Amino acid sequence: MREPARQMKGVTALHLKTYVALAAIITFAPLGNVLLSKGMKGMPSAMHWQPRELLSILGHILSSPYIWLGIAAQLAFFVTYMVVLSWADYSYVQATSAFSYAVVAVLGYVILGEIVNPLRAAGIAVICVGVLVVARTSPRTTGLVQPSAITTTAERAD
């Protein structure tokens, strides 16, 4: 009698942690891009493309706190993306993460004060639709990959 209730609780927990992870994905990725954008605004442009000039620009980039915050946000996105893929379908995760394109426009407006005109907003909506269509196709189209070579290597070592 307790088994179905426990299974139900497990399913609810799975949904909850999936929604939390997806919310993190569609926040961290656009936030990272917006922070990188803020960090890159006002950076000196390369005029002669000489190694010394490029190294100086690289120094400016790496000394910007916004760039490091952006990299941290991108890293957080990447780790969350990898973790959520360990239990959720790739096609499901890819489809929902398409909303990052809309979130980046909103964050660009809120944080950077960028104006998103109607044509750009419509274009972003069309991109989201296109990504959803792609995501509804099978995530695997080739034959099944052989079980990990790790196991094979480990077995050989034994």
Partner 1 sequence: MIREVLLLFMVIFAGTGGELCISRAMKSAGEVIDFRPVSLVRFVWLAIRVRWTWIGIGLMAMAFFSLLGMLSIEQVSFVVPVTALSYAAGALGAAVFLREHVSAQRWLGVLIVCVGVTMVWFSKR
Q: Which stretch binds partner 1 (CB under 8 A): 7-15, 17-25, 130-138?
A: 130-138
Beta carbon nearer to partner 1, 8 or 106: 106
Q: What token pair was written down for 50? A: 């000489």
9 binds partner 1 (CB under 8 A): no
d(CA 136, CA 129): 11
117 binds partner 1 (CB under 8 A): yes
| Rounded-to-10 torsion of CA 102, 104, 106, 109 | -140
d(CA 110, CA 85): 30
d(CA 74, CA 67): 10
Q: What token pair was written down for 129? A: 């639709």
61-90 residues in contact with partner 1 (CB under 8 A) are 61, 67, 86
Q: Tell me which residues touch partner 1 (CB under 8 A).
A: 30, 33-34, 36-37, 40-41, 43, 45, 61, 67, 86, 100-101, 104-105, 107-109, 112, 114, 116-117, 119-120, 122-138, 141-142, 145-154
